[in-house]
Structure 1
Amino acid sequence: MHDIEPHFGWREKYRAENDNYSPFYGREYSEFGYTNKVYNYLLHPQWDEFGAETLYLKQLFTDYDEHYVIIEMIGEWNDAVHNDVMHLKREFTDQLIGNGIRYFIIIMEGVLNFHGGDTDYYEEWVEEITEDGGWIALLNSHDHVMDELTQTRLDNYLAYGEQFNNLAWRPQKPERIFEAVEGLMQTGTRRVY
């Protein structure tokens, strides 16, 4: 896992460490110092920690005028033991919501497992953004991850599924990704509210 870097194709347009509204503003990254890990596997130092033990993210792009953020995740999302969604909500999304973000696109192909727990933080998150028409969409989730999300009833709060897994996002501009996901949400595809 140490050689899996976050997507870097949009770095000329956006860097969270240069965005004074980002929770990661001012962060400095090493190319050689590997300190973060998922269990016994070291992670590339470009991934950002936010308080979860086995889950990391990269804020790839944020557009405050259009009110959306694109996030890439890696690791194991474990709400059952570590309450990862609490850390994500309190340490990351709360600040973005406070700065007008209401559309969250989370790229999940690096999330190897999901273990569900309580849904309170998801419910709070959705309540805070749906008043303004916001949503949370998961792209490229593994089948077993989607099964666990559904068993935990997170389909009440998050949009995911096959139609969100067929978007080739890497070669696209972030605006196109947002437009594509917004189109799926407007057609009622796995609408969460």
Structure 2
Amino acid sequence: MHTLEPYYNWRHLYIAAEDPQSPFFEYQNSEIHFTDQIYNFLIHPQWDSMESETLFLKVLYADYNLGFAVIEFIGEWNDLLNNNIMTLKRNIIELMIAEGINKYILICENVLNFHGDLEADDYYEEWQDELEEGWIVMLNLQDHVLSEMSRFGVDRYLVMGVKLNDVSWRTRHPKQLFEAIDKVVTRRLGG
């Protein structure tokens, strides 16, 4: 896991640590020291902590005019033991909503497991309710993670599934990715 880096080819367009509106403004990552780990596995030092033991992220891009953000994740999404949805919502998402972000593209190909909690869906519902004309999309979920999230009803609040599981997002500019995802979501939601 220590060799899995967050996507870096958009760094010339956006760096969360340099964005005064970002929850990670002035956040400092080590270039050489591996300080974070998920269970007993060290992770690359460029991942940002949201104060979870099992899930780390990187805000790859944010556009306040269009109101969208692209966030990449690594680790285990564990609502059962760590209440990761609450941690994500309180520590990151609420700050971004306050800055006008209401559309979220969550890159989840490095989310290795999901452990749901029937009580945690309040946070998913709250997040969706606060978006006003917005949406939350999960891209490239592993099949077993998608299945488990669906089993716990997460798909009632987040757009996920077959058409979003093989999106080639790295080959696009973030705004092109947003436009393509927005079309899919608009069609799916009937707008």
Q: Same fold (TM over 0.5)?
A: yes
Structure 2 equivalent of residue 109 of structure 1? 109
Length, aligned pairs only: 189
Distance 1:176 1:166 in 2: 16
Distance 1:167 1:155 in 2: 18
Q: State percent identity of aligned pairs.
A: 44
Q: One-letter code of the match for 2:2?
A: H
Structure 1 equivalent of residue 122 of structure 2? 120
Report Cα offsets for 1:23-77 as digits up to 9, x if no partner. 1100122111111111111000000001111000000000000000000000000
Structure 1 equivalent of residue 162 of structure 2? 162
Distance 1:28 1:146 in 2: 32
TM-score computed with the length of structure 1 as normaliser: 0.96
TM-score computed with the length of structure 2 as normaliser: 0.97
Q: One-letter code of the match for 2:109?
A: E
**Structure 1 consecutive aligned stretches of length 4 or more whose deviation exceeds 4 Å:** none
Report matched runs for 1:76-155 at 5 Å.
76-117=76-117, 118-129=120-131, 131=132, 133-155=133-155
Distance 1:4 1:90 in 2: 26
Q: Post-superposition shift, 1:166?
A: 2.2
Task: Verify: 1:15 aligned to 2:5, yes or no.
Answer: no
Report matched runs for 1:24-43 at 5 Å.
24-43=24-43
Alignment gaps of 5+ in structure 2: none
Q: One-letter code of the match for 1:65?
A: N
Partner SS for 2:176: helix
Coordinate RMSD, CA, aligned? 1.2
Distance 1:99 1:80 in 2: 29
Contact 2:72 2:108 survives alignment (8 Å):
yes
Distance 1:119 1:102 in 2: 19
